[in-house]
Amino acid sequence: MKTSFVSKILLIFAMAFSMNSNAQFFKKLAKKAEKAAERTVERRVENETSKKTDQALDSILEPGSGGKQAPKAPENTGNGDQGNSGNSNQGSSSPETSGTSGPKTIQVYSKFDYVPGDKLMFYDDFAFDFVGDFPSKWNTNGGGEVVTLGDSPEKWLELISGYALYYIPDVPQLPEEYTIEFDLMAVGIDNKTSSNAILRVDLSNDDKFKDGSNFVHAQISACQYAPIGITMSNRINNKREIYSVVKADLRDEFQGSPHISIAVNKQRFRLWVNEEKHIDIPRIVPTGAALTTLKFHKNGFRDGIERLFISNLKVAEGGVDLRRKLISEGKISTNGILFDVGSANIQPQSMGIIRQISQVLQQETSMNLKIVGHTDADGSNESNLSLSQKRAEAVKNALVSIYGIQPDRLISEGKGESEPLADNDTTDGKAQNRRVEFIKQ
């Protein structure tokens, strides 16, 4: 009878253990195997717990979806202006790259602590730009054009590699405290994508196309064969103070459409990719030197193969603690709670604000709140009124189900487009009008 493969393996192990010279080696091997088995069990328990948590949160934040989204392969659809995308509060859920395999679960982290500024300085989703044109609110010393991807009407600016810089002339000076948000889309990246393939975000005192004597640079890597991380550097009065690489594995994020959030609070610089904070440096931003310009620079991507797109850029003054304002003034209004286009599905990057509201309610146990939703003027009065009510109710449900706030302490109301703060004929105005108010009762 032939000896089975397993029997042979056991025989080899038995012979090896009988040899004193190898006994210690196999003891160590057995110990490693035991630890590996423990880690496997831990990971499985962790994954199951994570799945259950995600399912519970997704049922609130994406009703009826089960937390699943089918991926789409982006394509340049060519010509034709697609018009405005509606009451998006910063755009729709973006299409995913062709490199994504299988459905993608939206993970929502209830400890996400990013809070966007509440005074809008700049917003652009290229809604009023024609496909094929360079966007009217931007400037560059290179090239680029507005495109659409796949069958989505959402517009993106395609950045080119080399020495091209892109900046926003309509933001004349950055304040001491502000936030920056934008979406990225990478197409054509694979395991050959270079470690030099980066998007650099610059905060500079030069208002044209140079680094300036004072700046902060954040280099976000799209490399796929290794976790390159994020490189942070600065210059203060022409002297470099910081240059360091912070560990971060962003390979999976770049297979989708990563949302980048940045908060500057005086000298402090923080950066999130999706809902995970990767950078928190307390003293990197130059003080006493006005950083006037936000710039973007793409480099290291293979020409004609790897393409990078940016959209939904928002710059807002503030981003400080909303809790104190709600307690002292009894009312706050924010356009930082974002929803998918034409729906009440809360986007994950909104959780920082909702978390802060929950903290106020947990501390001020006698406080009750009215949550009021507002939309821009796209669509009919009736549909916007209904949408604003659903969005206010979705925020209420998140406070109740995720943070344990008693539902009888909250009431929700929708006012649609009836109380605009700004002109609905501009992109900036629409972004200001799409907001949520919290009013002490």
Over 90: is that where the pLDDT of 64 sits? no
Give the pLDDT band (50/70/90) at residue 139: very high
- The DSSP letter of residue 63 is T
Mapped onto helix, strand or coil, the DSSP state of residue 348 is helix
Q: What is the DSSP string of 141-185?
A: SS--EEEEBTT---EEEEE-SSS-EEE-TT-----SEEEEEEEEE
Q: What is the mean pLDDT of residues 85-99?
A: 41
Over 80: is that where the pLDDT of 88 sits? no
Over 80: is that where the pLDDT of 92 sits? no
Going by C-beta distance under 8 Å and a sequence separation of 6 or more, which residues neighbour residue 397?
60
pLDDT score of 4: 53
> What are the pLDDT digits (tens) for 229-261?
999 999 999 999 999 999 999 999 999 999 999
C-alpha span between 398 and 339 (Å, rounded)? 13
- The DSSP letter of residue 288 is S
Q: What is the mean pLDDT of residues 64-68?
A: 40
User: For a pLDDT cut of 70, what percent of the chain falls above it?
Assistant: 74
Q: Report which residue type is found at 39.
A: R
Q: What tokens does 431 get?
A: 């972004």
Q: What is the DSSP string of 7-61?
A: HHHHHHHHHHHTSHHHHHHHHHHHHHHHHHHHHHHHHHHHHHHHHHHHHHHHHHH
Over 80: is that where the pLDDT of 365 sits? yes
Over 80: is that where the pLDDT of 149 sits? yes
Q: What is the mean pLDDT of residues 7-19?
A: 50
Query: Other CB atoms closer than 10 Å to residue 170's CB: what's the count?
Result: 14
Contact in structure between 205 and 215 (CB atoms under 8 Å): yes
More confident residue, 82 or 49: 49
* Lowest mean pLDDT segment, chosen from 96-100, 131-135, 182-186, 360-364: 96-100
pLDDT score of 8: 52
Mean per-residue pLDDT of the chain: 79
C-alpha span between 220 and 186 (Å, rounded)? 12
Q: Report which residue type is found at 152.
A: S
Q: What is the mean pLDDT of residues 204-211?
A: 90
Over 70: is that where the pLDDT of 41 sits? no
Going by C-beta distance under 8 Å and a sequence separation of 6 or more, which residues neighbour residue 366?
none
C-alpha span between 242 and 214 (Å, rounded)? 12
Highest mean pLDDT among 81-90, 280-289, 415-424: 415-424
Over 60: is that where the pLDDT of 54 sits? no
Over 60: is that where the pLDDT of 66 sits? no
Q: What angle do CA 106, 98, 125 make, to 5 degrees?
A: 65
pLDDT score of 161: 79
Over 50: is that where the pLDDT of 35 sits? no
Give the pLDDT band (50/70/90) at residue 162: confident
Going by C-beta distance under 8 Å and a sequence separation of 6 or more, which residues neighbour residue 336?
115, 116, 117, 118, 316, 350, 352, 353
C-alpha span between 422 and 430 (Å, rounded)? 7
Contact in structure between 227 and 273 (CB atoms under 8 Å): no
User: For a pLDDT cut of 90, what percent of the chain falls above it?
Assistant: 54
Q: What is the mean pLDDT of residues 158-187?
A: 89
pLDDT score of 163: 79
Residue 125: HSE in the Cβ half-sphere, 13 Å Cα cutoff: 23
Over 80: is that where the pLDDT of 217 sits? yes
Burial call 127-136: b when 16+ CB within 10 Å, e when fewer: bbbbbeebbe
Over 50: is that where the pLDDT of 100 sits? no
Over 70: is that where the pLDDT of 98 sits? no
Mapped onto helix, strand or coil, the DSSP state of residue 399 is helix
Going by C-beta distance under 8 Å and a sequence separation of 6 or more, which residues neighbour residue 304?
none
Mapped onto helix, strand or coil, the DSSP state of residue 259 is strand
pLDDT score of 24: 47
pLDDT score of 322: 79
pLDDT score of 398: 92
Total count of residues recorded for the chain: 441
Q: What angle do CA 145, 148, 150 make, to 5 degrees?
A: 145
Q: What is the mean pLDDT of residues 341-366?
A: 89
Query: Other CB atoms closer than 10 Å to residue 430's CB: what's the count?
Result: 27
